[in-house]
Structure 1
Amino acid sequence: MIVGVDVGTSVTKAQLVARDGRTGPAHEARSTLYTLPGNRVEQDMDEVIGTVVTVVRAAVADAAQLAPDEPVEALALTGQGDGLWLRDARGRPVGRALSWMDGRAAPVLEGWSADGTTDAVFRRTGAGMFPGAAGPLLAHLAAHEPDRLAAAETAGYCVDAITQRFTGERTVDASDASVPFLDVSTRTYDDEALDLCGLTDWRGLLAEPAPPGALFGLLPKVAAELGLPAGLPVSAGPFDIPACGFGSGLEKTGQGNLIIGTTLACQVLAADPAPGSGEPAGMVLATPYTDRYLRVMPAMIGTAGLDWLLGMLGVRIEELDALLAQSPYGAGGVTALPFLSTSGERAPFVDARARGRLDGLSPLTGRADLVRALCEAVAYSARHCLETLGVAGDITACGGGARSGEWGRVFAGVLGRDVHVREDAVGIRGAARVAWDALGTAPGTPASSFARVSRADPDAVAFYEDGYHRYLDTLEKARQSW
């Protein structure tokens, strides 16, 4: 068995994955997200690590019931990416962690966009930066809190912060390190990219990426806290987006994956790390497999915007499918732009000023039309991202939004192809797959089974083809006015 852990932005989950694919109960613990003036969003590293201890202990207790004849083979970690988790030489936090949702570095990014820095870095590493990425955050701290950087030994991420506390190893997974300074083909940092961002003097804060297949040993004291044996192998990554991709069964180049969660992440498996082209947005990630890369567009939109709208309308999420079924294709003439994050948008374009809107309202507009318009707009954005990435194969979907059958049919219609929906701890399954591969004992069972297939209705495909191009026209005009 593998103990899989997924450390989300505010919820940490853990459960056992047996070699035959069965999973134990999911255990959850919440951590605090501090939203502060100045567009700051922070987390307490010690609190987050405490949630990991809590859920792992609970998951380990399920071992006898799930597979009494199987030993626990490894602890597999995945979790939120980006942001900045500063640590001293002992792995202790140097101030609160800066979340990937943090917006304090937006002025830095605006300056870099104006002077060509973001474009130049993108051409070198394939990483489009946004305010919550490590590059702008480091530059902001270098300008405003240099003493804080001087007190740190490591500027890392969520998963490697936990890894250091659990194993004593100063390391980072190559997927996390990919944004924005890594040459993913060589898995070494691009010194020119660091220099372009004015961060050469802080190069020493970046831990060297762990080689593919790296495992680390659980420290005795931590092992006792977790209820696991000392020295148990720990697999530290990839972070949650690639973990969901591999947990969804990405194996062939050209296959795509949608993570319809709080935000919408679109990714495509590729055989080469093509240099960045087009607008400087998205990212190219190194993966646990040396001959495979992930091209990713992690949009800021997703179920968070839908939750806001449902809350405004006094509608429960359980009513979503019924509402979508009540409104026809095109939502009775109502259209939307779905950019409802205070941080703006980061894929397939970057603009901190991006904001949402609803058009075509009339006295005949009902709640179902408003909800459908927003859901269609999110699907249009997904197509925009996937087309930019060059998807050519099957598409899978996972995440909370993928549980809606009606919304799944909207995605299928907009994308013009069937969408294979996967459920049941997809990120944890992806982390477990990577751990088993590193151990050399891959169980040979599918990473996850299809829950269902959302079919592309021909009438919907024809309707949404026109709707998608109208969406792009509206978006282009809106971008000029933000």
Structure 2
Amino acid sequence: MIIGVDVGTSVTKAQLVTRDGRTGPAHEARSTVYTLPGNRVEQDLDEVVGTVHAVVRAAAADAAALAPDEPVEALALTGQGDGLWLRDADGRAVGRALSWMDGRAAPVLDRWSADGTARAVYERTGAGLFPGSAGPLLAHLAEHEPERLERADVAGYCVDAIVQRLTGERTVDASDASVPFLDVVTRAYDEQALELCGLGAWRKLLADPAPRGALFPLLPGPAAELGLPAGLPVGAGPFDIPACGLGSGLSEPGQGHLIIGTTLACQVLSEDPAPAGGDEAAGMVLATPYADRYLKVMPAMIGTAGLDWLLKLLNVRIEELDALLAQSPYGAGGVTALPFLSTSGERAPFVDARARGRLDGLSPLTGRADLVRALCESVAYSARHCLETLGVAGDVTACGGGARSGEWGRIFAGVLGRDLYVRDDAVGIRGAARAAWEALGVPARAEGPPPRVIRADDEAIAHYERGYAGYLRTLEAARANW
């Protein structure tokens, strides 16, 4: 068995996964997301580490009941990417972590977009910069809080911060390191990209990526906290987006995957490491555990967070979503939407910190169901925009909270014009477990039970083909006015 851990933005989860694909109960612990003036979004590393301790202890206690004859073979970690988690040499936080949702570095990105820096970095590494990525955040701190960088030994991410506390290793998974300074082919940092951003002096803060298949032994102190044996192998990634792709069974170039979560992460497996976004300089190219395989990703800032906002505004419970969507026809009674409801704007398939949402076509006949359906359709249009930009050419799988809705799933299938294969069970945790098992050289059925299939309806496909064209026209006009 493997204990898989997914350190999300606000919820940490842990679950046992057996070699034959069975899972134990899911255990959760919440951590605080501090939303502060100046578009600052922060987290406390000690609190997040505490959530990991709590859920791993609970999952370890399930082992005897789930598979009494199987040992726990490893602890496999995944979690949120991007942001900036500064630590000292002992792994202690140097100030609160800056979340991937943080917007304080937007002025830096504005300068880099205007002077060509962002484009030059994108052409070298395939990383589309956005305010919450490590490059702009490092540059912001170098300008406004250089003493904080001087006190740090490592500038990393959430997962490697947890790994350092559990194992003492100063390391990072290549998937996290891919954004924004890694050459994903050589798996070494592109020194020129750092210099372009004026960050050459801070190269010393970047941990070198772990070799493929690396596992690190659990230290005695953390082992006692977790209820696990010292020396247990610990897997340090990949982070949540690629972990969900691996856990969904992506294996052939051209296959696509959607994470319909707080954000909408769209990815396609590729043999080509070239940048994914074309003229837009958006998205990212991630190293994977496999040679000559890359994940091209458009991690849109939209998703269930915008839907949660609208449902709260309308005093509708999430349990009512399917029934509400069923009350409104294709096209939501003439109501259309742009779904850009993040305070830090959008990062895929284009980058604009000023991107904002809207609803059009309202009349006295418009009901709550129409508003909700219009927003859900617009998120699906954005998914198609992202996947087409990435060059999807095969089956598309989906996971995440939004994928649990059958009605929303039918919207996605209609907009994408293809069947949607939904995996509901511990997908990111399964991806982390798959990477750990492969590092151990152990065959395992990591992807679990067969996916749930949502069939694309011909009538929906025809309607949404017209709707998608209208969405693109509206988006193009709106971008000129933001």
* Amino acid in structure 2 at the alignment position of 1:16: L
Given the superposition, is the C-alpha separation of residues 53 and 78 from structure 1 closer, same or farther in structure 2, using an over 3 Å criterion?
same
TM-score (norm 1): 0.99
CA offsets 1:360-393 (integer angstroms, 9 cap, x no match): 0001111111110000000000000000000000
**Which residue matches 2:194?**
194
Deviations 1:91-148 (A, max 9, x none): 1110000000000000000010001111110011000010000000000000000000
Instruction: Give the Å deviation of 1:192.
Output: 0.7
Q: Over residues 218-267 of structure 1, what are the superposed CA-to-partner deviations in whole Å (9 max), with x where a residue is unaligned?
A: 00111111111110000000000000000011011100000000100000
Please tell me whether the aligned partners of residues 13 and 55 of structure 2 are also in contact (alpha carbons under 8 angstroms).
yes
Is 1:113 aligned to residue 143 of structure 2?
A: no
Normalised by the size of structure 2, how large is the TM-score? 0.99
Q: CA deviation at 1:449?
A: 2.5
| Contact 1:154/1:205 (8 A) holds in 2 | yes
> What residue number does 1:36 align with?
36
Partner-residue secondary structure (3-state), 1:481: coil
Superposed CA offset, 1:178-213 (max 9, x none): 000000000000011001100000000000000110
1:442 positional shift: 2.1
| Identity among equivalent pairs (%) | 82
Residue aligning to 2:274 = 274
- Partners of 1:312 and 1:37 in 2: how far apart? 23
In structure 2, what is the equivalent of residue 355 of structure 1? Answer: 356
- 1:304 equivalent in alignment to 2:287: no
Question: Counterpart amino acid of 1:137?
Answer: L
The alpha-carbon deviation at position 480 of structure 1 amounts to 0.2
CA distance in 2, matches of 1:308, 1:163: 34
Q: Which residue is equivalent to 1:470?
A: 470
Q: Which residue in 1 is equivalent to 2:450?
A: 450
Alignment partner, residue 322 of structure 1 = 323
Structure 2: runs of 5 or more not aligned: none
What does 1:6-45 align with in structure 2 at a 5 Å threshold? 6-45=6-45
- In 2, Cα distance between the equivalents of 1:67 and 1:428? 18
What residue is the counterpart of 1:284 in the other structure?
A: 285
Question: Is the partner of 2:279 in helix, strand or coil?
Answer: coil
Matching residue of 1:55: 55
Distance in 1 (CA, whole Å) between partners of 2:36 and 2:312 is: 23
Query: Which residue of the partner structure matches residue 419 of structure 1?
Result: 420
Runs of 4+ with deviation above 3 angstroms: none
Partner of 2:435: 434
Q: Structure 1 counterpart of 2:106, which letter?
A: A
Asked if 1:159 corresponds to 2:159, the answer is yes
Equivalent residues in 2 for 1:325-336 (5 A)? 325-336=326-337
What aligned pairs does 1:374-393 form with structure 2 within 5 A after superposition? 374-393=375-394
- Structure 1 Cα separation of the partners of residues 244 and 279 of structure 2: 26
State the AA in 2 paired with 1:120: A
Matches within 5 A, 1:62-101: 62-101=62-101
Distance 1:290 1:56 in 2: 31
Per-residue deviation, 1:278:
2.3
Provide the secondary structure at the position in 2 that maps to 1:379. Answer: helix
Write out aligned runs for 1:335-350 (5 A).
Answer: 335-350=336-351
- 1:249 touches 1:448 (CA, 8 Å); kept in 2? no
Say whether 1:231 aligns with 2:197.
no
Paired residues in the alignment total: 481
- Give the partner amino acid of 1:309: L
**Maintained 8 Å contact 1:423/1:448:** no
Alignment of 1:405-416 (within 5 A): 405-416=406-417
**Paired residue secondary structure (2:58):** helix
**Which residue number corresponds to residue 400 of structure 2?**
399
Look up the SS of the partner of 1:143 in the other structure: helix
Task: For residue 289 of structure 1, report the CA deviation from its aligned partner.
Answer: 1.1
Distance 1:311 1:95 in 2: 33
For the Cα contact (< 8 Å) 2:127–2:275, is it kept in 1?
Answer: no
User: Are the aligned partners of 1:423 and 1:449 in contact in 2 as well (CA < 8 Å)?
Assistant: no
Say if 1:423 and 1:450, in contact at 8 Å, map to a contact too.
Answer: no
Looking at structure 2, the residues matched to 448 and 370 of structure 1 have their Cα atoms a distance apart, in angstroms, of 36
Match of 1:206 in 2: 206
> How far apart are the structure 1 equivalents of 2:449 and 2:193?
41
**Contact kept? 2:19, 2:446, Cα under 8 Å:** no
CA contact (8 A) 2:88 2:151 kept: yes
- Per the alignment, residue 141 of structure 2 pairs with 141
Q: Which amino acid in the other structure matches residue 218 of structure 1? A: L
SS of 2:280 mapped into structure 1: coil
Deviation at 1:288, TM superposition (A): 1.1
Instruction: Tell me if 1:244 matches 2:244.
Output: yes
The answer to whether the 8 Å contact 1:5/1:52 transfers is yes
Q: Is the 8 A contact 1:217 1:232 kept in 2?
A: yes
SS at match of 2:469: helix
Instruction: Return the alpha-carbon distance in structure 2 between the equivalents of residues 137 and 262 of structure 1.
Output: 21
Q: 1: distance between equivalents of 2:78 and 2:347?
A: 22
In structure 2, how many angstroms separate the alpha carbons of the residues matched to 1:146 and 1:257?
Answer: 39
| Alpha-carbon offset, residue 291 of structure 1 | 2.0
Return the offset for 1:38.
0.6
Whole-angstrom CA distance in 2 between matches of 1:245 and 1:44: 28
Q: 1:421: Cα distance to partner?
A: 0.4
Structure 2 residue identity aligned to 1:304: A
Amino acid at match of 2:262: T
Distance 2:134 2:392 in 1: 27
Give the conservation status (yes or no) of the 8 Å contact 1:436–1:442: yes
Tell me the SS of whatever aligns to 1:124: helix
Q: Deviations over 1:267-324 (max 9, x none)?
A: 0001121145321110000011122100000000000000111111111111111111
Tell me the CA shift for residue 446 of structure 1: 5.0
Q: CA RMSD in A?
A: 0.7
- Give me the whole-angstrom Cα distance separating, in 2, the residues matched to 1:423 and 1:312: 28
Correspondence 1:481 to 2:470: no
